[in-house]
A and B are shown apart, each in its own frame.
Chain A
Amino acid sequence: MPKLKVDGVELEVPAGATVLQACELAGKEIPRFCYHERLSIAGNCRMCLVEVKPGPPKPQASCALPASEGQEIRTDSEMVKKAREGVMEFLLINHPLDCPICDQGGECDLQDQSVAYGRGASRYHEHKRAVTEKYMGPLIKTIMTRCIHCTRCVRFSEEIAGVDEIGALYRGENMQISTYLEQAAKHELSANVIDLCPVGALTSRPYAFEARPWELKKTLSIDVSDAIGSNIRLDSRGREVLRILPRVNDDVNEEWLSDRGRYMVDGLTRRRLDKPWLRRDGKLVAATWAEAFDAVAKINPGPSVAVIAGDLVDCETMFAARKLAGALGSTLLEGRQTGLAYDCSNLAAVNFNSTLAGIEDADAILIIGSMVRDEAPLLNTRLRKAVKKGAKVFIVGAEWDPTYPATFLGEDIAVANDLPAEVAQVFEAAKKPAVIVGGAGLAKGGREAALALSERFNLVREGWNGFNVVHMAASRMGGLMLGYAQKGGIADLAAAKPKMVISLGADEVDFTKFADSMIVHIGHHGDKAAHAADVILPAAAFSEKDGTYVNTEGRVQYAEAAVFPPGDARQDWTILRAMADALGVSVGFDSFEQLRAAMVAEVPALGSEGLADYGALPAAPAGAKAEGAIAGYPIKDRYLTNAIARASVTLQRCSAELVHGESFAEAAE
């Protein structure tokens, strides 16, 4: 714990801190471009120069200088001011003055810092350098003349993404950032370099020239594209959400966001259901709300009702639907649309118990049937960190590229029942062993095998719980907490032959099994369920309603509405409330607050943000064995996993270009 002085104020900083961090602890702002907390230190922009004694009589780059005992640091001296002005002037020598047409304008580090630390005028009259455009794929727009060579993007792709896609070619003034042969950046987190770029060299291609940051309303929300529950910010103008950016939450997404979550934003305005539709003579025709509710009343199902929750819905919607079904006398609720039927009697056994931040500390990890990069991209960055710290990873299932060293144990899941000796040895020696079961594993009894492993290797120990299930749907844990699970899965619903099936945006269900039922679809996109529906009631997407989401680690998080639903669409709970009137039953709430209060009264864990407590793991069921081969994973196309994403032009292009290898001619500019 070195003691040092920053601008005359004495303070103690943690061992291993840099001078820059020490200055920040002292409350001093240090300008920087290349330094980033989550990346390695490069020390090449020189913007963070400070004066340090003892040391050479010149300014020093604080980001790369270890803080040590007795240092006297000055951030406010004349030398520092001149140094910053000098660095700023050099950086601006080759930087174009095109801020008025630059998408970074208004949220540009270079702009802000040149105002705060620059000299105000240039003495440079020579020609500026120009750099040819580089293609980086459908998501990243490049204007490389603006690049100031901080190499944050290079370090991100190497260290966080782990794919070495982006590199710095040539040298000195001629250095250019590029992918190999200007191929598209393919990694599922690649668009995060847009946030990292301190200038306008890498900007968002779909968002180009859309809006200025000061025009946008910022709304805090939760990503629904996977079960990680990334914290996001919705930037909206008028009735349209224009972009999605990640928020910092070290427990969940750090400060990254998957490309899928970031770019499904343009799906929010396309293929929307903006008025009720009724099926007449086999054809869907537009209707009014009154006609739609008449049609629902006419179904008059009595207790013969089933509710299927989709992957994107919030807890309030699911609770309202549960109340409605309950009032009608039914408990047929299910959220696992594709037919999974794992045992949900103990939620600790279907939860990611290590927590996303905690899994970084694991030293032996067994992944059973999960293609983590597609199913939970931000979990993979955590696993990468664990491996960097020395964890050994074993994977059961078809091979995929994890971006870190891992041993594949074959496709046959039976190997999880009886681990090979060398794997067992690693697990016995491990201090924090962890097992992660994915969707493909759950389908083949991986959960039971993992429970047996948990007992054998003592995965739950003092300060550590190594039993994990990683889900793919944002609504999954919330749904399970609200009882959206039948013993036999969705097959139980089909077997009950309900008169009415309420689909809450359930777009992944095989509705041919419900051919005799009237299907009432409460959803926001004209996707698969809408094609099967008899009555379509247009609802709100996640950006248009307040809601509670529970991520795969059981973390309860709240999202807020950014905009209004389009056209005649309404928030889901109001539709369910009106349906109750149409069907002549009472659900016991008249406002969103009452609904939420009722929900919290029944499931108290949903009432407070943070990790829900699911109690202890159950004992492994005797004799249960995992069987079958995991030859493939549920996600076939990582960009088109939900109704919003499928409606997104950007993600359709990503799918075509990055997954299916189609090539697109670049428009000449």
Chain B
Amino acid sequence: MADRHPEPDSPELRARWGNFAWTAENAEKAKEIIARYPAGRQRSAVMPLLDLAQRQVGAEENTQGWLPLPVMEYVAAQLDMPIIRVLEVATFYTMYNIQPVGRFHVQVCGTTPCMLRGSDDIMAACKAKGLKKGHTTPDGLFTLTEVECMGNCASAPMVQINDDNYEDLTAERVTHILDELAAGRQPKTGTQEPGRHTVEPAGALSNLTAMVSENHDYRGEW
């Protein structure tokens, strides 16, 4: 994260994004988002609007989307807030991409549960496919990032690619997913374990068994 910084301000950046404006559909959405907050508190809408802007940028250039500085300034102007406050938000949350990303933003979880379940193999598999941490592949297809816990510890290891999670991964499974995406097909999202639906226990119940049929108070047993 230390090397995370916004795409530098340049004449090219201004030329490309200086005229950013909502599409008719997004303008409607932005209006609806701002209306969720009390009058005079429109600044609260900064996070959903930045997300919307990121998605619009993504749709325009067929990537996951990112936030060029002129786009942040556009959002700031719409919400009547100082641009530095918008930049603070955009740089704080890592789900806002402040540098260009590829078509698929592969975010590999490397936090302890995933690491114990083999996230190193996932990283290695990604590397074998030519993905490099913090970089976009030359064909503009994949950007690889290592992230902290995504909350899918029960089906670790996992990656998040754009808006979808892929869980219970192995090196082969993640390679397959990347191949499918590269080929333009949508692989199955969620757990990749055959027969598993979500995060139900793999195999038999191993704990909290007394809770299956009725509410059970464990406190006395601790």
Residues of A participating in the B interface, judged by any CB pair closer than 8 Å: 129, 163-172, 174, 179-181
With both beta carbons as reference points, the residue of chain B lying nearest to A176 in the complex is identified as: B91
Q: Is A179 a contact partner of B91 (Cβ separation < 8 A)? A: no
5 A-B residue pairs with Cβ-Cβ distance under 8 Å, sorted by A, are: A167-B85, A169-B92, A171-B91, A172-B1, A181-B9
Q: Is B85 a contact partner of A174 (Cβ separation < 8 A)? A: no
Which 4 pairs across A and B sit closest by C-beta, in order of nearness? A164-B82, A167-B84, A169-B91, A180-B84
In angstroms, Cα B1 to Cα A172, docked, is 10
Render B26-63 as a binary contact track against A, CB cut-off 8 A, 1 for contact.
Answer: 00000000000000000000000000000000000000
Contact of B2 among A163, A164, A174 (CB under 8 A): A174
| Closest Cβ–Cβ distance, residue B134 to chain A (whole Å) | 14
Residues of B participating in the A interface, judged by any CB pair closer than 8 Å: 1-2, 4, 9, 69, 82-85, 87-88, 91-92
In angstroms, Cα B82 to Cα A180, docked, is 10
Q: Is B84 a contact partner of A170 (Cβ separation < 8 A)? A: no
With both beta carbons as reference points, the residue of chain B lying nearest to A182 in the complex is identified as: B9
| Closest Cβ–Cβ distance, residue A98 to chain B (whole Å) | 20
**Residues of B contacting A166 with CB < 8 Å?**
84
With both beta carbons as reference points, the residue of chain A lying nearest to B92 in the complex is identified as: A171
Q: Which of A169, A171, A172, A179 has the most CB of B within 10 A?
A: A169
Residue pairs across A and B with CB atoms within 8 Å: the count is 33
Given contacts A166-B84, A170-B4, A181-B69, 20 further A-B contacts (CB under 8 A): A163-B82, A165-B84, A167-B85, A167-B87, A167-B88, A168-B88, A169-B87, A169-B88, A169-B92, A170-B91, A170-B92, A171-B1, A171-B91, A171-B92, A174-B1, A174-B2, A174-B4, A180-B83, A180-B84, A181-B9
With both beta carbons as reference points, the residue of chain B lying nearest to A171 in the complex is identified as: B92
With both beta carbons as reference points, the residue of chain B lying nearest to A132 in the complex is identified as: B5
**Residues of A contacting B87 with CB < 8 Å?**
167, 169, 180
In angstroms, Cα B82 to Cα A179, docked, is 11
**Residues of A contacting B88 with CB < 8 Å?**
167-169
In angstroms, Cα B92 to Cα A181, docked, is 16
With both beta carbons as reference points, the residue of chain A lying nearest to B1 in the complex is identified as: A174
Q: Which of A165, A171, A174, A180 has the most CB of B within 10 A?
A: A180
Q: Which of A166, A170, A171 has the most CB of B within 10 A?
A: A170
Q: Is B84 a contact partner of A164 (Cβ separation < 8 A)? A: yes
Q: Is B1 a contact partner of A179 (Cβ separation < 8 A)? A: no
**Residues of B contacting A169 with CB < 8 Å?**
87-88, 91-92
In angstroms, Cα B88 to Cα A164, docked, is 11
**Residues of B contacting A171 with CB < 8 Å?**
1, 91-92
Majority secondary structure, B binding face:
helix
| Closest Cβ–Cβ distance, residue A273 to chain B (whole Å) | 45
| Closest Cβ–Cβ distance, residue B69 to chain A (whole Å) | 7
In angstroms, Cα B69 to Cα A171, docked, is 19
| Closest Cβ–Cβ distance, residue A183 to chain B (whole Å) | 10
In angstroms, Cα B98 to Cα A174, docked, is 15
In angstroms, Cα B84 to Cα A181, docked, is 9
In angstroms, Cα B92 to Cα A523, docked, is 55
**Residues of A contacting B2 with CB < 8 Å?**
129, 174
With both beta carbons as reference points, the residue of chain B lying nearest to A157 in the complex is identified as: B84
Q: Is A164 a contact partner of B9 (Cβ separation < 8 A)? A: no
| Closest Cβ–Cβ distance, residue B76 to chain A (whole Å) | 10
Q: Is B85 a contact partner of A170 (Cβ separation < 8 A)? A: no
In angstroms, Cα B87 to Cα A169, docked, is 7
**Residues of A contacting B9 with CB < 8 Å?**
181
**Residues of A contacting B82 with CB < 8 Å?**
163-164
With both beta carbons as reference points, the residue of chain B lying nearest to A129 in the complex is identified as: B2
Q: Is B1 a contact partner of A170 (Cβ separation < 8 A)? A: yes
| Closest Cβ–Cβ distance, residue A70 to chain B (whole Å) | 32
Q: Is A179 a contact partner of B84 (Cβ separation < 8 A)? A: yes
In angstroms, Cα B85 to Cα A164, docked, is 8
**Residues of A contacting B92 with CB < 8 Å?**
169-171
**Residues of A contacting B85 with CB < 8 Å?**
164, 167
In angstroms, Cα B123 to Cα A560, docked, is 70
**Residues of A contacting B84 with CB < 8 Å?**
164-167, 179-180
With both beta carbons as reference points, the residue of chain B lying nearest to A169 in the complex is identified as: B91
| Closest Cβ–Cβ distance, residue B88 to chain A (whole Å) | 5
Q: Which of B9, B69, B87 has the most CB of A within 10 A?
A: B87
| Closest Cβ–Cβ distance, residue B1 to chain A (whole Å) | 5
In angstroms, Cα B45 to Cα A434, docked, is 37
Q: Which of B4, B69, B83, B91 has the most CB of A within 10 A?
A: B91
**Residues of B contacting A164 with CB < 8 Å?**
82, 84-85
| Closest Cβ–Cβ distance, residue A140 to chain B (whole Å) | 15
In angstroms, Cα B4 to Cα A172, docked, is 13
| Closest Cβ–Cβ distance, residue B62 to chain A (whole Å) | 28
In angstroms, Cα B69 to Cα A165, docked, is 16
| Closest Cβ–Cβ distance, residue B150 to chain A (whole Å) | 17
**Residues of B contacting A180 with CB < 8 Å?**
83-84, 87
| Closest Cβ–Cβ distance, residue B5 to chain A (whole Å) | 8
In angstroms, Cα B91 to Cα A169, docked, is 6
**Residues of A contacting B4 with CB < 8 Å?**
170, 174
| Closest Cβ–Cβ distance, residue A176 to chain B (whole Å) | 9
With both beta carbons as reference points, the residue of chain A lying nearest to B76 in the complex is identified as: A180
In angstroms, Cα B87 to Cα A174, docked, is 15
With both beta carbons as reference points, the residue of chain B lying nearest to A180 in the complex is identified as: B84
Q: Which of B2, B69, B84, B92 has the most CB of A within 10 A?
A: B84
**Residues of B contacting A179 with CB < 8 Å?**
84
With both beta carbons as reference points, the residue of chain A lying nearest to B84 in the complex is identified as: A167
In angstroms, Cα B4 to Cα A180, docked, is 16
In angstroms, Cα B84 to Cα A172, docked, is 18
Q: Which of B69, B82, B85, B88 has the most CB of A within 10 A?
A: B88
In angstroms, Cα B92 to Cα A129, docked, is 18
| Closest Cβ–Cβ distance, residue B7 to chain A (whole Å) | 12
| Closest Cβ–Cβ distance, residue B89 to chain A (whole Å) | 10
